[in-house]
Amino acid sequence: EIVLTQSPGTLSLSPGERATLSCRASQSVSSSYLAWYQQKPGQAPRLLIYGASSRATGIPDRFSGSGSGTDFTLTISRLEPEDFAVYYCQHSETFGQGTKLEIK
C-alpha cells in the first residue's frame, strides 16, 4: 500500500508570496496518476492538477505541479486571498493527509 505524506502540515504565508507544498510517496509511483486538490471549508475538493503537472480546466496558471518518482510539488507562484485553503495530493486510491495553507 502506498502512503502519501504531505509537508508541511500547516504553511503560514502572506498574499503575494510563493507557496511550495510537498507530497512524498512511500514508494515510486506513476506521475500520470498524481493529482492535487484544493478544499475550502464546507466545500467539495476542487481538482487543480492531474498527471502531476497538467492544470485542470479553469485553474489559474499561478498553480503548477512538478515531480516524479516519490517526490511531488505543488507551487502557487503568487498567493491570492482565495488560495488559502487545505490542499491534498492523491495517487490512485490514496490521498495525502493534507496541508493547510493559512494567512500569516
Partner 1 sequence: QLQLQESGPGLVKPSETLSLTCTVSGGSSSSNTYYWGWIRQPPGKGLEWIGTIYYSGSTYYNPSLKSRVTISVDTSKNQFSLKLRSVTAADTAVYYCARVYPSYSSGWPFDYWGQGTLVTVSS
Residues lying near partner 1 in the complex (CB under 8 A): 1, 30, 32-33, 35, 37, 43-47, 50-51, 56-57, 88, 90-98
Closest Cα partner for 73 from 43, 31, 39?
31
Measure the CA–CA gap between 98 and 95, rounded to whole angstroms. 8
Q: Please, which residue, 7 or 30, has the CB nearer to partner 1?
A: 30
Q: How far apart are CB 20 and partner 1 at their closest, in Å?
A: 20
Q: Please, which residue, 13 or 47, has the CB nearer to partner 1?
A: 47
Q: Please, which residue, 17 or 56, has the CB nearer to partner 1?
A: 56
Backbone angles phi, psi at 41, to 5 degrees: -55, 130
Q: How far apart are CB 54 and partner 1 at their closest, in Å?
A: 9
Consecutive H or E run containing 34: strand 34-39
For residue 56, CA distances in Å to 45, 103, 104 come to: 13, 25, 28
Q: How far apart are CB 19 and partner 1 at their closest, in Å?
A: 19
